Each structure stands twice: as C-alpha cells, then as structure tokens.
Amino acid sequence: MSTLPVIAAVDGSDDSLVALDWAFETALLREAPLRVVHVQQYAAWAGPEITPPGQPESANDPVLDAVRRYLEGRVEQPAVEYSALAGAAGTVLPELGSTAQLLVLGSRGRGGFASLLLGSSGVAAARDAECPVVVVPKPGREVDDDTLPIEPGPRVVVGLQVDSPDEATLSFAFAEAARRGARLQAVAAYAWPLHVWTAATAQVVAPLADQEAIEAETRVLADGLLAPHRERHPDVRAESYVAPGDAAGTLVAASRDATLVVVGRHRRRLLAPARMMGSVTQAVLLHAAAPVAVVPPVQMEA
C-alpha cells in the first residue's frame, strides 16, 4: 500500500515558498513523498468550456519550473511529484485532502488584498479538506503578549477544550511532538470572570464561584484527557497550561517561538451540517506566529 503524500500548494509567491520549505522538511520527517501542486486559476466568467478543469501538462508550468530550480541541490530529498491543476484554488485544494496525509499552504498567496492575513484558499482548505491542513505564516509575524511563560526548545502547542475534547486533535499533536523531538503544551482556557443574568433584578451579577476551584477543576480535567496520550507517547514531555479568559488569545500568545500550533475543526451538528472552523480556530489562523495545523474530527459526517 503506497504512502499518501504531503501536499504543498504553491503559486509563485514568497509565502508559498515558505510553506513549501515546511512541507519539504515534514515529508522527510514522515518518510512520505512530497507532491507540489500549482492550481492554475481561471477567471470566474471562464467556464469549463473555455478552460476545462483537469490536469494540464506540468512540464509547461513556469511556477512548477521555478520550484524545481528552488529545490535543486538539496542533499536529502523526499520523492517529489509535480502537478498542475486547473480550476479555482478554493475548490481544488480542499478536494486534494482525500489524497494526502497533510496539506500545506502559505497564509496568503498572490491573489486577494495585500492587507489580508489569511487568503481565501487557506480558509477554504482549513475548513473543508478531509486531511489536516497546515497554514504557514509569513516569517516575522510577532506576538505582543509575552505574559505566558515559554521555556526554550522545540514546542508543539495544542488547544484543549476540557468540556468538548477532540481526540483527533490531541493524537495529531502528540504524534507531531514525538516526530519533532518537541515537548507538548496543552492550552486550556476557562471563562473568567463569570457573570449571570438575573431576571429578578434585570442585572448581570457575579456568580458565587471560586476562581481557584474552577482553575483546579480545569487542570484536573486537562490532565485526565492527556493521560492516555502520555502513555502512548512516553518520550513526549507533555504539560497543561490553564489560564482564565479568551482561548484564542491564549493560544496566540503561546504560538510565540512555537514549532507548531494544533487546533481542531468543529464537528458537524445535526442542525448545522455544513463544515465549520469555529471562531477560536479562525483567530489562531489569523494571528499565530507559528505554523497552524487544523485537524478535522475523526467522524466527518454527523
């Protein structure tokens, strides 16, 4: 049985070359082939009769020719395949997820507005692909919040919802930490301060809750969720970081100097069958200083 490839999407932009470098090293770590894909986009008014979707001749693609030259001379290389595809990148790239173990792309390509932090193709791929999607940010993106204690060394950060844990996300994060010789930092945020609306007084009042108790309970739940993964990966040093407030802000702060940030994608719900990313995942994709892996749930259909 052949090994599924790591797919790197390129479009000739500097951002896509940064993502290509990340995919190249990851393919080596996973002992997987690397498939470099360029989607030749056609205009919205140019229907299939004018530019039929499919696979044009990859040898005549100038973007792929430039990538070949870019990768030449590297001492250690995975098996590399080049593919040129025609269509809209936001549609074609997510469809490749069923043929890959990982889909990697830059945070913003040639299209769209220069001020955007994440391109539409990245949004579509992270939301719809059947495999995990890694979005690699532009180098130099900084995180202003330095309140979170960060120990030097390689570190994989994973978002942990103690009230709705995602085993696929945790499994992916632990496996990546093991591959990269990194420690794992599981970030669990809890809402504080809590406020309750009372109909009697028509006011928002502070509940009778103890912050220390809530934090302790969150930590116990987090450590319980990490326990089976620690047993499966005894070489991975895993720790939980519990903090009050906004989950997205805490994860973005934790992305400073991180090797990778891992977040989950929302499960499909009966009354909301469309695939969703969730506000926390979107915020992390927009602002994290490290590459972000968005992991789909194990059960794609709900």
**Interval 96-123 mean pLDDT:** 71
Do 44 and 89 lie in one domain? The reply is yes
Residue 249 maps to a domain = yes
CATH number of the domain that residue 220 is part of: 3.40.50.12370
* pLDDT (tens digit per residue) in 205-248: 555 567 788 888 989 999 999 999 999 999 999 999 998 888 89
Among candidate residues 136, 164, 189, the one where a domain is terminated:
136
Do 16 and 77 lie in one domain? The reply is yes
Residue 143 maps to a domain = no
Mean pLDDT (the chain, rounded): 82
Do 119 and 14 lie in one domain? The reply is yes
Do 89 and 20 lie in one domain? The reply is yes
pLDDT for 198 equals 53
46 falls in which pLDDT band (50, 70, 90)? very low
Do 166 and 206 lie in one domain? The reply is yes
CATH number of the domain that residue 29 is part of: 3.40.50.620
H or E element, residue 123: helix 120-128
Residue 202 maps to a domain = yes
Residue 148 maps to a domain = no
298 falls in which pLDDT band (50, 70, 90)? confident
Q: Looking at mean pLDDT, say which of 5-19, 30-44, 58-72, 96-110 comes out highest.
A: 5-19
* pLDDT over threshold 80, residue 271: no
User: Cα dihedral angle (268, 274, 110, 295), rounded to 10 degrees?
Assistant: 10
Q: For the chain, where are the E strands, in sequence order?
A: 6-10, 34-40, 80-86, 102-106, 133-136, 155-159, 183-190, 196-198, 203-205, 238-244, 260-264, 292-295
Residue 74 maps to a domain = yes
* pLDDT over threshold 90, residue 28: yes
Do 20 and 114 lie in one domain? The reply is yes
Task: Check residue 4 and report its DSSP letter.
Answer: P
Residue type (1 letter), 122? G
Contact (CB, 8 A) for 89 and 237: no
Residue 89 maps to a domain = yes
Q: Find the range with the poorest average confidence among 36-40, 132-136, 274-278, 293-297.
A: 274-278
* pLDDT over threshold 70, residue 22: yes
* pLDDT (tens digit per residue) in 161-199: 888 888 999 999 999 999 999 999 999 988 766 555 555
Do 76 and 130 lie in one domain? The reply is yes
44 falls in which pLDDT band (50, 70, 90)? very low
The crossing angle, in degrees rounded to 10, of helices 279-287 and 120-128 is 140
Do 89 and 163 lie in one domain? The reply is no
Residue 173: which domain range?
155-295
User: Cα dihedral angle (109, 130, 3, 90), rounded to 10 degrees?
Assistant: -20
Among candidate residues 75, 105, 136, the one where a domain is terminated:
136
* pLDDT over threshold 70, residue 21: yes
Do 132 and 194 lie in one domain? The reply is no
More confident residue, 203 or 15: 15
Among candidate residues 101, 136, 171, the one where a domain is terminated:
136
pLDDT for 33 equals 97
Residue type (1 letter), 99? T
pLDDT for 296 equals 92
* pLDDT over threshold 60, residue 273: no
Where does residue 125 rank: exposed (0-12), middle (13-18), buried (19+ CB within 10 A)?
buried
pLDDT for 196 equals 52
CA distance 150 to 129: 32
CA distance 223 to 203: 36
Residue 21 maps to a domain = yes
Q: Looking at mean pLDDT, say which of 1-15, 98-112, 121-135, 221-235 comes out highest.
A: 221-235
Q: Tally the domains of the chain.
A: 2
Do 204 and 77 lie in one domain? The reply is no
Do 270 and 177 lie in one domain? The reply is yes
**Interval 267-292 mean pLDDT:** 72
* pLDDT over threshold 60, residue 257: yes
Do 77 and 163 lie in one domain? The reply is no
pLDDT for 118 equals 54
Residue 203 maps to a domain = yes
